[in-house]
Amino acid sequence: MLRLRVGFVLIAIVLSFFGARLVQLQGVDPGSYAAMAAAEGAVRVPLEAERGDILDRNGIPLADSIKGKMVIADPALTAAQAPELARLLSDRLSIDYFRTLTALRGRKEGSRYEYVARRVPSTLAGDTLAALDDAGYEGISLQDDPIRDYPAGDVAANLIGYMGTDEPLGGFERTFDKQLAGVDGEATWQSNSGKGVRIPLRESTIEAAQNGAPLRTTIDRDLQWFTLKVLAQAVQQARAESGAAIVMDTRTGEILALADVPTFDANKPTDADKEDLGSRAMNDTYEPGSVEKVLTASSLIDAGVAFPRQKFKVPGSLQRQDRAIGDWFDHGMIRLTLAGIIAKSSNIGTVLAADAFTPPQLVDYLQRFGLGQKTNIGVRGETPGILTPGDVMTSQTKDRVAFGQSLSVNVAQMAAAVNAVANGGVRVSPSLISGSAVTDDGITVGTDVATRTRIISKQAARATAKMMEKVVDPEDGVAPAAQVPGYLVAGKTGTAQRVAEGCGCYDGSTSVSFGGFAPADDARFTVYVVIHAPQGEAGGGSTAGPVFSRIMGYVLGRYGVEPTNGTPSRLPVEW
């Protein structure tokens, strides 16, 4: 009887423990214990957001996403056969064997979800999975993982940029990553902890991915392609180091093309030199040379201290302080008008005309034209250029700045400055983004926030354009090769010494350029071309002028701009 009583007591004690545990699980803290139980078999799968497209002005993709797959391993099922499976996967997918082996075994204890390969073409991924199934392997699955694609290859690659495996590494891809990337989602479901199989009717949740928003640019894909090919041909023929060309809509400031040579295929960025992956046109500085004379002359006219028919006696050499200023061509004393100084591109004549300005006056005008400050068009690493402040600029520096040396610019700065003359004296800030977009640095850019600022009077702009017409005149000018058959063209050549890296001195090479607009009497487009370090005989008119002519002729035809049949400039160049 005693043993029976002891037995009942022991049974009662055990049952009381079970009862207390049941009360704890169901009454005191049911949520935490349920969560712990669920977590043991929970599988969390990230849902990749699809990246937004980067489009040209007509909605044609410059960057988009095509179907791809992510190869995923469940280490609970793949660890046992990891070496054999890793060999098969690395061979078929061309991925690293040892990284694959680590993923198959699980990078952390208890992991049920490991990336094996990202952005695998759908066909290859499907064929690989079928081969694994046939061989009896378990634990490998596929998930959608779009592949970034650049349909036009090298077209606008200097602006669009490129993607790494998991992050943007350049261009608009990086600058506007927050807009393009979207937000990843997540799916969570319960699985059989031993087999990784989803348990039917058990709770599951899905937080849908938010796809990225598209980014529309002002670039015209076909015009960008043409500009790039013409520029590349010219750089090759001149055996030059590099080159850049830009096409702007005169009235809106929209950049229709901005090409760099050398460039790269955005689908294969690792095949390119690191120096070619960005935009030299925006990130590198150079001295603009004689194209800058357009800004000096138009400023003088606007200030009322010069006019196109003004007469100058231009000597063969001009002594200034401790050094002499010369022209690109040998001559004795010649008699040139201001129009002639521009047509012949005389450094000496420009300096004589600019004597009417103090350094602060000249700098003030150049700053209004946008020199010495970033355009903020959305290109990372853009240089502001260099323009010495007027209150510290010496008269000697002012002389050189007046004809385009001792200051530096980028391509968009210079094109926008010339475009202000084309646009009747109103500077329109250049744009690469259609509408508006916010950079990852918080700067709003685009056509919606473009500004319009009067720099010089309409009369001064018109007078300057008439002088620029003489530059391409076959009898009076230095750049007849820049003419566009059937159209009046206004332009200006440039040849400038190049500064060597490190020493701050000139290295003996040059940058040659041509900037202008057409039709000259009702400007529709501005084109600016610069070629750096050409070999042999090269000049703004002979080397960059023909590139300008071909690009301008193409864009006028593409946009259906008819000749104005205007009267060519009759300004005298000599007296």
Per run of 10 residues, the mean pLDDT along the chain (length 575 residues) is: 57 57 52 47 69 96 88 88 89 89 86 83 85 86 85 95 87 96 74 50 68 95 98 97 97 98 93 91 94 98 98 95 90 96 97 97 98 95 95 95 96 98 98 96 96 98 98 95 97 93 80 97 98 93 97 98 93 96
- State how far the alpha carbon of 314 is from the alpha carbons of 48, 336, 339, 344, in Å: 69, 7, 13, 12
Read out DSSP for 7-73?
A: HHHHHHHHHHHHHHHHHIIIIISHHHHHHHHHHHTEEEEEEPPPPPPEE-TTS-EEEEEE-EEEEEE
Looking at residue 237, its amino acid is Q
CB 169 within 8 A of CB 161: yes
Q: Which residues contact residue 436 at a Cβ distance below 8 angstroms, ignoring those fewer than 6 apart?
A: 444, 445, 446, 447, 448, 449
DSSP structural state of residue 447: G
CB 261 within 8 A of CB 231: yes
Give which of 215, 279, 217, 218 is closest to 254, Cα–Cα.
218
* Residue 428 burial (CB count, 10 A): 22
Which residue reads 């196109």 in tokens? 308
| Cα 268 from Cα 191, distance rounded (Å) | 40
Strand partners of residue 120: 69
Looking at residue 493, its amino acid is T
| Cα 98 from Cα 101, distance rounded (Å) | 5
Nearest-5° angle of CA 389, CA 393, CA 398?
110
User: Hey, what are 91's tokens?
Assistant: 């061979």
Give which of 174, 153, 154 is closest to 164, Cα–Cα.
174
Looking at residue 14, its amino acid is V
Q: How deeply is 108 buried, as exposed, middle or buried, from its count of CB atoms within 10 A (0-12, 13-18, 19+)?
A: exposed
Dihedral sign (CA 557, 562, 568, 569): negative
Q: What is the pLDDT of residue 109?
A: 80
Q: What is the pLDDT of residue 80?
A: 85
Q: Which residues contact residue 185 at a Cβ distance below 8 angstroms, ignoring those fewer than 6 apart?
A: 46, 47, 49, 206, 207, 208, 209, 210
Give which of 287, 293, 350, 286 is closest to 318, Cα–Cα.
350
Q: What is the pLDDT of residue 8?
A: 58
Helix (H) or strand (E) holding 258: strand 255-261
Give one word for 414, left, alpha or beta, with left for phi > 0 and alpha for psi -120 to 50: alpha
User: Hey, what are 182's tokens?
Assistant: 């979207």
- State how far the alpha carbon of 167 is from the alpha carbons of 24, 72, 127, in Å: 48, 20, 27
Give which of 468, 457, 441 is closest to 528, Cα–Cα.
468
For residue 164, which phi and psi values (nearest 5 degrees)?
Answer: -90, -165
Nearest-5° angle of CA 45, CA 49, CA 50?
135
What SS3 class is residue 214? Answer: coil
Q: What is the pLDDT of residue 20?
A: 53
Helical H segments across 326-454, by residue range? 338-344, 347-354, 359-368, 395-402, 411-422
| Cα 286 from Cα 288, distance rounded (Å) | 6
CB 532 within 8 A of CB 240: yes
Architecture per CATH, 221-558: 3-Layer(aba) Sandwich (3.40)
Read out DSSP for 292-357?
A: GHHHHHHHHHHTTS--TT-EEEE-SEEEETTEEEE-SS--SSEEEEHHHHHHHT-HHHHHHHHTTS
User: Hey, what are 275's tokens?
Assistant: 């120096």
Strand partners of residue 71: 117, 142
| Cα 546 from Cα 234, distance rounded (Å) | 9
User: Hey, what are 442's tokens?
Assistant: 């918080």
User: Hey, what are 247's tokens?
Assistant: 């096409």
CB hemisphere CA count around 199 (13 angstroms): 15
Q: What is the pLDDT of residue 218?
A: 98
CB 518 within 8 A of CB 497: no
* Residue 421 burial (CB count, 10 A): 32
Domain ranges of the chain: 221-558
